Structure 1
Amino acid sequence: MNVTRYERSHLPGVQAICAAEDWPSLSENTERAHAVLTAPGVTTVVAVEHDEVVGFAYLQSDGHIQAHLSMLAVRADHRRRGIGRALLEYAAPLTGALRIDLVTDTAGDFYKSLPHRTYQGFRIYPG
């Protein structure tokens, strides 16, 4: 398995993972997804095994202090093999940030296994 920066050739694999997770934000529109994954201040990395994307992480950062882990997913048939951790370890220094915040509703045990502090959080949906 190799972890590397996202390139457009990885997009079908990222979209397939998002579709499998029922995350329509990136899986529904190819051009929008690529624009989001390569936007200024964004760090996107992928885990590739045998030329197939098996996981990805998408982070947004100010490049100095704060980063936000917006999405991290590993294909269901590749979980519990250290891929999520490898994605975060590779991506974190690329953001330039001192800390990474995130919201999760399904992977609390995974994130608790990392050095962290727990805070109460909210997701706001404007208008």
Structure 2
Amino acid sequence: MEIIEVSTPEELKRAWDIRLDVFVGEQQVPIEEEIDDADLAPSTLHVLATAEGTDVGTARLLEDAPGHYHIGRVAVRKDARGTGVGRALMEYLARAAAQRACGRAEIVLSAQEQAMGFYSSLGYEVVDGRTYLDAGIAHQDMRLVVGE
């Protein structure tokens, strides 16, 4: 498996294709809620995971403030789940956040409740236990500090 930082419009479209398959196709998220202005912000880091020449996963890193980041739009195609793609994407972005912060970085994410066990296995902790709906799906905020 290889993870690349998206640097061209074609690579960004490939990342969006995965998100559309997972979020819009599988989870019925309205398409107008899936692609947003943050996707095109110059500071947003998109990553794309490929395996044997096939695009299998994507995620993005947003900078909320210096040293404070948000990972989101983590999507792995159905046939690649359970193979380590999600873990590799998350670890890559955690390293990128620490590097961008030149040390300590706080990462927050909005976790679908069904995926909270996965994020916990990476060291993320629940922020306040408050459940909220995003695109009709139950979420909770989780947090990790890296680079200490």
Q: Secondary structure at the match of 1:104?
A: strand
Q: Does 2:94 align with 1:92?
A: yes
Report the aligned-residue RMSD: 2.5
Match in the other structure for 1:101: 108
Per-residue deviation, 1:122: 6.9
1-side partners of 2:108 and 2:120: how far apart?
A: 13
Structure 2: stretches of 5+ with no match in the other structure: 135-148
In structure 1, distance between residues paired with 2:53 and 2:41: 24
Report the alpha carbon displacement of residue 57 of structure 1 after superposing the two structures with TM.
0.9
Match of 2:85 in 1: 83
Alignment-derived partner of residue 10 in structure 1: 11
Q: Percent identity?
A: 29
Paired residue secondary structure (2:119): helix
Partners in 1 of 2:120 and 2:92 — Cα distance? 18
1:36-92 residue CA offsets vs partner (Å, 9 max, x unmatched)? 434232111110123322101111015731101121111010011111111111122
- Whether the aligned pair in 2 keeps the contact of 1:66 and 1:99 (CA below 8 Å) is yes
TM-score (norm 2): 0.67
Which residue of structure 2 lines up, in the alignment, with residue 110 of structure 1?
Answer: 118
Match of 1:49 in 2: 51
Letter in 2 for 1:109: G
How many equivalent residue pairs?
A: 118
Q: How does 1:68-79 map to 2 (within 5 A)?
A: 68-79=70-81
**Dislocated runs of 4+, deviation >6 Å:** 122-125
Preserved contact between residue 57 and residue 87 of structure 1 (Cα < 8 Å): yes
Judging by fraction of residues, say which structure has more strand.
2
Whether the 8 Å contact between 2:60 and 2:72 is mirrored in structure 1 is: yes
**Aligned equivalents of 2:19, 2:123: Cα separation in 1:** 26
**Equivalent residues of 2:49, 2:55 under 8 A apart:** yes
